[in-house]
Chain A
Amino acid sequence: MRGAKSAKWVAGAIVVALAATACGGGDGDEGKSKGSGPAGYVSIDVGEPQKPLIPADTNESNGSYVIQALFTQLLDFDSKGEIVYTNAESVTTEDSKTWTVKLKKGWKFHNGEDVTSKSYIDAWNWYANIKNNQQNSFWFQDIKGYDDVHPEKGDPKAETMSGLKALDDHTFTIELKYTMPYFNYKLGYATWAPLPKVFYDDPKAFGQKPVGNGPYTFEKWDHKKLIQVKAWDEYQGPNKAKNKGVQFKAYTTLEAAYKDVVSGNLDMIRQVGPTDLPKYKQDLGDGAIEQPYAAIQTLTPAFYSKTFKDIDPKVLQGLSMAIDRETITKTVLNNTRTPAESFTPPGVKGNQDLDTDVFTYNPEKAKQLIEEGGGVPGNKFTVQYNTDGGHKEWVTAVCESIRKATGVDCVGDPKPDFATDLEARDNDQVKGMYRGGWVADYPVNANFMKELYHTTAEANNGRFSNKEIDKLMNEADQADSLEASVKAFQEVEKKLVEHMPAIPLWYYRINGGHGKNVDNVNVDFHGDLEVWAVTTK
């Protein structure tokens, strides 16, 4: 019995120890916030930002929601994609190469520091520096002197970009390497936000507890659960908060978030999950949101692959006409997309009616074009996609549509997750086509062409290369006004139809909603809900 007795003690002690750790962890690691949090606050399902909250290190949507609440850059866009000046009084240029920025006076950071030219210039120099590993550093590549702070290899040769000069506290100039008539549109991206001096003392700590100049001040970040920001009374921009604060709540699934909206525990949901799409309009009534935004999905051929090497564009046109976009968007995709009619989505400057039937379903003509173009080699191709993003259904439907219309065999090439999918694209290992997607960085048509189909473009994973089109794009960049540049890119777009660097499928729509406790929920041009304008009832 002796053995048994001491065993009892040991086991008992372990159980007690386990219980103690369990209780210890439980104390005060989250407040009792039932419902939608403090009075006057609104809540939205925004998950854990991938990275620390530094403007130039954030390019995914969770993080940018929070960044946009805490920081304000020079200008912003309205829902039509027109410029609205926020922190800048004006951004002007004479030659599209040197830009003069005038800041509004009296702006401050949340800690009371003035927002001056220096706040911007220092921040941009820090962002662009290769040593700081900022994900969006390439956004500063048009500025003169960028290559000194961000060489392709090795250490930076300078700490500052020579193109940035402060004239006084509230005026500074940006000199570019070349002319770029739509450069001011790029400034609307949250990456261009200024930083206060405290940032440079400890960037790491700042990323957990940022001090910005935006409509909200930072309150708390309870990792993977909640980020809370409070409306800032002294904010002077046009997007001053109309609620008392915002809670960004993390959910593990879209379904869980949706259930909380229906039951009133959450105010807004950005995207309704596929299972709830058929019924969300009845559930939410007036609260249902369905709006197009500036993003496009394409099938992009890998022009280095066996199948599509030196393919006749007629074949691609034919394949495009074999896709019944209308039916697929309505059925398989539950009206979450709008059939594409061009390479640029509506809401983007320069979106035009291309006056072509290449994007219209027409099985006979599709067959005929493919035959004229010499057919698809092997009469079969693959479409690569990632299985963790809900793409399987539409890829199957598109393939089915092509097979039925033309007899060309089309099969999916699933990759288990996004990381694997991207790796195959980067390493030129796509066997046929891949699922391409692009969300507007700035609402100008150049963004949907230069960044995707120029030979040197980083995101040109299909390795499309056409000297004539490169030349036209370079010329369009040198146009002397924005209007002229947009026009020139419209010409490029017409040419793209002849060469088919990708098959546009559809534009995105946001299918979100809000509960009964809030009102005035609007969508901006890249599909984000405008949190600052939301009011509580």
Chain B
Amino acid sequence: MGRYVARRLLQMIPVFIGSTLIIFCMMYALPGDPVRAMMGDQAYDPAVVASIKKDLGLDQPLLQQYVNYMTGLVQGDFGTQIASQRPISDVITDAFPVTIRLTIFAFTFVTLVGIGLGVVAGLRPDTLRDRGLLTLTLVLVSMPSFVLGFLLQYLLAFKWSVTTPTVTDSTDFGQLALPATVLASLSLAYVARLTRTSIAENLRSDYMRTAVAKGLPRRRVIGVHLMRNSLIPVVTFLGIEIGSLMTGAIVTEGIFNVRGIGIEIYEALTRREGATVVGIASLMVLIYLAASLIVDLLYAVLDPRIRYA
């Protein structure tokens, strides 16, 4: 078990180096010079541009720049932003907690409501409530998040004044509720459908019949025998979903004015702040890797037949 985790952790190193190199090259290949772009439309002085680039090491060849960047990164230095001249680690620590809060909120929502709905529908397949859920999820899947975002914002904040239209304080979970719900809605639909199918399938399996025949109480049959086996595909999906909830929030963050990692990486991209993009993206890579490791470990919890040596 310990060795398995250690091996997985070691495997992360080459993945990490490879992904940062790819992102770094991509940023480098993009047209547009960040220092020049900073100067804008009006007149500017090329001598200053050259001097800034020299000070930041942006005039060096690609590989040299990458080596410099990685050397800094290993020592915990994410580099400095070109325009704002702030350390990138500061920028990330500002935006990251916001995203994490939003993601945790959305993730909890997805897990509880999604699995709940799925179980309710799956236990009675092809009844009215099952059809109702199918229709609801169909609507959620087909509605783009910005439509849902603007709609809920309009209804809840302007028509009924239940909540504030935008997030002014990201530590206030009341304000985060709306963006988190919108963010969660798509995955919610998938989780509900996945759970429903899995439950409906396993209801007909042999071990279920055995459990019922043994005369076990219904709560135990469903709570332990059925759920544990049905949740494996759902857990896989949820694990991957953590990552996409974090990075996929650009649209939602924009509508509700949440200053998270999504907006940050988008802005850095349009400004060609290479180091910021690479920094945030590699952090995302790490989160994906960690999430998939947790998922694999959870398999063992859910299904005793799976063991890691």
Contact = CB atoms under 8 A, between A and B. Distances in A.
Interface of A: 1, 3-4, 6-8, 10-11, 14-15, 18-19, 21-22, 24-26, 29-30, 32-34, 48-52, 59-60, 130-131, 133-135, 137-138, 150-153, 204, 207, 223-225, 250-253, 255-257, 259-260, 262-263, 265, 388, 417-420, 422-424, 426, 437-439, 441, 451, 457-459
B300 A265 contact: no
Interface string B263-274: 110000011100
A34 B301 contact: no
Contacts of B94: 29, 223-224
Nearest to B250: A252
A94 to B, nearest CB: 29
Contacts of A438: 41-42
B171 A135 contact: no
A265 B158 CA distance: 13
A423 B36 contact: yes
A25 B304 contact: no
A204 B85 contact: yes
| For the complex of A and B, 6 pairs with smallest distance between CB atoms | A25-B97, A419-B32, A419-B37, A7-B300, A138-B45, A256-B257
25 contacts: A3-B300, A3-B308, A10-B297, A26-B97, A26-B171, A34-B168, A34-B169, A50-B83, A50-B84, A51-B84, A52-B84, A135-B38, A138-B44, A138-B45, A153-B47, A251-B166, A252-B263, A259-B153, A259-B157, A265-B165, A419-B270, A423-B31, A423-B36, A423-B37, A459-B42
A59 B40 CA distance: 8
Contact of A422 (B32, B91, B170): B32
B51 A133 contact: yes
Nearest to A22: B100
Interface in B68-97: 83-86, 90-91, 93-97
A506 to B, nearest CB: 16
Contact of B84 (A48, A131, A259, A441): A48
Nearest to A49: B84
Nearest to B298: A11
A6 B1 contact: yes
Contacts of B90: 223
A418 B37 contact: yes
A451 B43 contact: yes
Given A34-B169, A138-B48, A419-B32, 20 more contacts: A50-B84, A133-B51, A135-B44, A135-B48, A150-B47, A151-B47, A223-B86, A256-B255, A259-B165, A260-B168, A265-B165, A417-B32, A419-B31, A420-B32, A422-B37, A422-B41, A423-B33, A423-B36, A437-B41, A459-B44
B269 to A, nearest CB: 9
A260 B166 contact: yes
B111 to A, nearest CB: 12
Contacts of B101: 22, 25-26
Nearest to B272: A419
Contacts, number: 193
Given A7-B298, A34-B169, A60 B40 contact: yes
A19 B166 CA distance: 25
A253 B255 contact: yes
A422 B164 contact: no
Contact of B33 (A4, A263, A419): A419
A250 B294 contact: no
A299 to B, nearest CB: 15
Contacts of A130: 47-48, 51
A18 B94 CA distance: 17
A295 B43 CA distance: 14
Given A256-B257, A422-B32, A30 B39 contact: no
A312 B171 CA distance: 63
Contact of B169 (A6, A33, A49, A420): A33
A1 B304 contact: yes
B206 interface: no
A422 B255 contact: no
A452 to B, nearest CB: 9
B151 to A, nearest CB: 14
B139 to A, nearest CB: 24
Contacts of B67: none
Contacts of A29: 94, 97, 171
A528 B38 CA distance: 20
Given A50-B84, A130-B51, A259 B31 contact: no
Given A21-B100, A50-B83, A137 B297 contact: no
B5 interface: yes
B43 A22 contact: no
Given A133-B55, A420-B32, A11 B294 contact: yes
B104 interface: yes
B52 interface: yes
A172 B9 CA distance: 67
A133 B45 CA distance: 10
A59 B39 contact: yes
A387 to B, nearest CB: 11
A260 B169 CA distance: 13
A30 B294 contact: no
Interface string B1-30: 110010000000000000000000000001
A52 B85 contact: yes
Given A207-B85, A224-B95, A265-B164, A4 B36 contact: no
